[in-house]
């Protein structure tokens, strides 16, 4: 078995081979202007004159900065004809943050063969940087906004380098991602174990970028130990902003990244969309290359689709169709809206010993911690089958894409051997179809309400779920965190068997509430 030190050594050797192929000692992308502009971020003693001198060294950079300053984005009352006057009007921070991405864009685009590819990466990174800076300002976090901007901007440095110097391999990575691989998986296949973050970190170190920028490239960072932990917070911000923007741009599932950072950077859906839109507006008005890249990414349309997808989950029920009213009259009275934090230690009179044993065992696991959520989910599904007596149980999780919201099966237990849990899929929302007001699964999720549906009730499930619901009573137990749905337990029982009684239904809700508690503790 290969040791960790051997693995690191192998990765280091592969990086050396990669850098040898791109002639790392002559990387043109990090020009002296870019390096000097970055240095101003960490030096609080820098003056307006120093900034002006750096910009004026490059006629093209000076010209482009003045073009943006005099654009509709800033809407100044009269034209500005000098860099010094621009700094006076807009301030040191604004001009420095304006000059850096312009210089970075110009150098990177000149260096690469894949012009469209690098423009899209840079535009996405710039939008992410604006979003991260805006989030800091909205949340009042104790971080320097300009450092947040720089760290988020350079988060995808490894991807930029690969796109510039290995365009064919970068396209291979893109093709593998289109076929279902994650970015890291595709990169490791193409570059024999390397990841984009490893490449970015090594290039950043070679360029002597600040530790804050280097640390912010660390993938999938753990939560900071405290909100005052600067490096950890910068890393999490850069990760959140870039992964969210990329998920929206690529129509990937944004739910995991939103769930991961819900506690740390919590925004309600309206504030999240408003921040995305304001960042997008600022980015589009910044320069024509960025506007071109965002256009190629179709970001305006993607954000609009993402907004519609969030609204489909967050909207409140304002009325009931006739068929919904008829259905509700058939529901057991005790199935209602979920309450507050569940008391998972309580027992229910009249239940069998195996229920009490199961609850005690699972509650102990939650209390001790250190569990794997997927393993815990599977145990809960087994409890639904072995203790409560359902024939089939599915854990299905919400997947939020920019153009649709879907409920997708993850784990299953019980009968229906020909049907795997992964075949369970229900598109809750799409811009073409909207939301079907009759279907019960979207309704259960939107209201976080437990529902019971008698066997063969007509027109309440999509045809895709016929194999799961035909001749079966169905029970829907949404999994909601702070009244936000993240998934549900889908339970069935053959129609020739008695429907679940009150004690069984209460026990099922306790199992679901136990899963909610496990998720909360895992996030904490």
CATH number of the domain enclosing 471: 3.30.450.40
**Region 238-253 average pLDDT:** 92
Residues 412 and 462 in one domain: yes
Q: Give the tens place of pLDDT for each residue, 490-516.
A: 999 999 988 888 888 888 998 998 898
Tokens describing residue 58: 């490059």
Residue 180: inside a domain, yes or no?
no
Contact assessment for residue 247 and residue 239, using Cβ atoms and an 8 Å cutoff: no
Residue 302 falls inside a structural domain: yes
Sign of CA dihedral 377, 382, 384, 387: negative
What pLDDT does residue 233 have?
A: 92
- Name the band, by pLDDT with cuts 50, 70 and 90, for residue 433: low
Question: What is the spatial distance between Cα 179 and Cα 181, in angstroms, rounded to a whole number?
Answer: 6
Structure tokens at 159: 């991807």
Residue 139 shares a structural domain with residue 61 = no
Radius of gyration of the chain (CA): 27
Q: Which of 147, 154, 132 is nearest to 204 (CA)?
A: 154
Mean of all residue pLDDT scores within the chain = 78
* C-alpha torsion 19→21→22→24, nearest 10: 40
Query: What tokens does 61 get?
Result: 């950079």
pLDDT higher than threshold 90 for residue 110: no
pLDDT tier for residue 351 given thresholds of 50, 70 and 90:
low
Domain, as residue range, for 287: 114-154+209-310
- Do 95 and 132 fall into the same domain? no
Residues in the chain: 524
Residues 262 and 480: their CA atoms lie apart, in Å, by: 13
Helices (H), 57-144: 59-69, 83-90, 92-111, 115-139
Q: Is residue 163 part of a domain?
A: no
- For residues 57 and 125, membership in a common domain is answered with no
Question: Which residues are CB-neighbours of 367 under 8 A, at least 6 positions away?
Answer: none
Which pLDDT does position 313 carry in this prediction? 66
Q: Is residue 178 part of a domain?
A: no
Q: What are the residue ranges of helices labelled H in 344-410?
A: 353-368, 373-383
Q: Considering its fold, how many domains does the chain have in total?
A: 3
Lowest-confidence pick of 66-70, 171-175, 511-515: 66-70
Asked whether residue 483 carries a pLDDT value surpassing 70, the answer given is yes
In a 3-state reduction of DSSP, which class is residue 223?
A: coil
Single residue among 51, 78, 111 that ends a domain in this structure: 111
Q: Does any domain span residue 174? A: no
Answer yes or no: do 274 and 381 share one domain.
no
pLDDT-based confidence at residue 4 (cuts at 50, 70, 90)? very low
Residues 354 and 439 in one domain: yes
**Mean pLDDT across the stretch 332-337?**
39
Judge if 301 and 348 occupy the same domain: no
Do residues 360 and 467 both lie within one domain?
Answer: yes
Asked whether residue 346 falls in the same domain as residue 327, the answer is yes
Domain boundary residue among 111, 146, 171?
Answer: 111
| 186: nearest Cα among 195, 196, 173, 198 | 173
Same domain membership, residue 515 and residue 410: yes
Q: Are residues 271 and 326 in the same domain?
A: no
| Ranges 45-54, 151-160, 206-215: which has the least confidence | 45-54
294-303 burial, b for 16+ CB within 10 Å, e for fewer?
A: beebebeebb
pLDDT at 323 over 60: no
Q: Is residue 280 part of a domain?
A: yes
Predicted confidence (pLDDT) per residue in 187-227, tens digit: 889 888 888 898 888 888 877 777 888 999 999 899 888 77
Task: Say yes or no: 121 and 232 in one domain.
Answer: yes
* pLDDT score of 245 more than 90: yes
Asked if pLDDT for residue 88 goes beyond 60, the answer is yes
448 found inside a domain: yes
State residue 296's pLDDT score: 87
Q: Note the pLDDT of residue 331.
A: 42
Q: What angle in degrees, to the nearest 10, is found between the helix axes of 48-56 and 83-90?
A: 140
Asked if 469 contacts 451 with a C-beta cutoff of 8 angstroms, the reply is no
Task: Give the pLDDT band of residue 50 (cuts 50, 70, 90).
Answer: confident
Please indicate whether residue 466 or residue 333 has the higher confidence score (pLDDT): 466
Give the integer Cα–Cα distance in Å for 479 and 445: 8
Residue 33's pLDDT band (cuts 50, 70, 90): low
């Amino acid at each position: 078995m290969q040791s960790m030190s051997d693995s690191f050594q192998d990765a280091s050797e592969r990086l050396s081979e990669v850098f040898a192929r791109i002639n790392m000692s002559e990387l043109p992308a990090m020009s002296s202007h870019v390096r000097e502009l970055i240095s101003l971020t960490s030096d609080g003693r820098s003056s307006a004159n120093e900034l002006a001198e750096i910009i004026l060294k490059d006629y093209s950079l000076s010209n482009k900065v003045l073009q943006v300053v005099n654009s509709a984005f800033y809407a100044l009352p009269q034209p500005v004809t000098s860099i010094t006057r621009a700094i006076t009007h807009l301030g040191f921070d604004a001009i420095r943050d304006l000059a850096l991405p312009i210089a970075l864009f110009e150098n990177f685009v000149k260096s690469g063969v894949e012009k469209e590819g690098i423009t899209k990466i840079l535009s996405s990174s710039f939008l992410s940087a604006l979003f991260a800076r805006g989030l800091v300002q909205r949340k009042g976090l104790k971080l320097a906004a300009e450092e947040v901007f720089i760290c988020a901007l350079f988060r995808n440095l490894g991807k930029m380098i690969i796109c510039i110097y290995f365009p064919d391999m970068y396209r291979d990575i893109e093709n593998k991602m289109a076929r279902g691989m994650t970015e890291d998986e595709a990169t490791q296949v193409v570059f024999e174990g390397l990841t984009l973050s490893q490449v970015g970190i090594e290039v950043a170190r070679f360029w002597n970028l600040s530790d804050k920028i280097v640390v912010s490239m660390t993938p999938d960072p753990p939560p900071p130990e405290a909100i005052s932990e600067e490096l950890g917070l910068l890393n999490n911000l850069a990760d959140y902003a870039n992964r969210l923007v990329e998920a929206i741009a690529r129509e990937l599932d944004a739910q995991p990244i939103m769930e991961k950072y819900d506690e740390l950077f919590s925004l309600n859906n309206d504030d999240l969309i408003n921040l995305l839109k304001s960042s997008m507006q600022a980015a589009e008005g910044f320069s024509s290359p960025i506007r071109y890249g965002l256009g190629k990414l179709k970001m305006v349309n993607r954000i609009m689709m993402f907004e519609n997808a969030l609204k489909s989950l967050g909207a409140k029920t304002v009325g009931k169709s006739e068929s919904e009213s008829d259905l509700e009259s058939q529901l057991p009275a005790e199935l209602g809206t979920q309450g507050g934090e569940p008391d998972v230690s309580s027992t229910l009179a009249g239940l069998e010993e195996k229920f009490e044993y199961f609850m005690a065992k699972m509650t102990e696991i939650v209390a001790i911690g250190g569990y794997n959520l997927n393993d815990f989910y599977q145990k809960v599904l087994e409890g639904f089958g072995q203790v409560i007596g359902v024939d089939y149980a599915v854990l299905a999780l919400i997947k939020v894409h920019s153009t649709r919201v879907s409920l997708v099966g993850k784990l299953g237990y019980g009968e229906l051997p020909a049907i795997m849990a992964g075949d369970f899929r229900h598109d809750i929302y799409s811009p073409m179809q909207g939301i079907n007001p009759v279907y019960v699964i979207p309704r259960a999720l939107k209201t976080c309400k437990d529902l019971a549906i008698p066997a063969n009730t007509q027109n309440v499930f999509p045809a895709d779920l016929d194999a799961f619901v035909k001749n079966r009573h169905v029970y829907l137990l949404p999994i909601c965190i702070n009244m936000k749905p993240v998934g549900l337990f889908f339970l069935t029982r053959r129609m020739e068997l008695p429907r679940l009684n009150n004690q069984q239904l209460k026990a099922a809700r306790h199992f679901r509430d136990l899963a909610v508690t496990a998720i909360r503790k895992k996030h904490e």
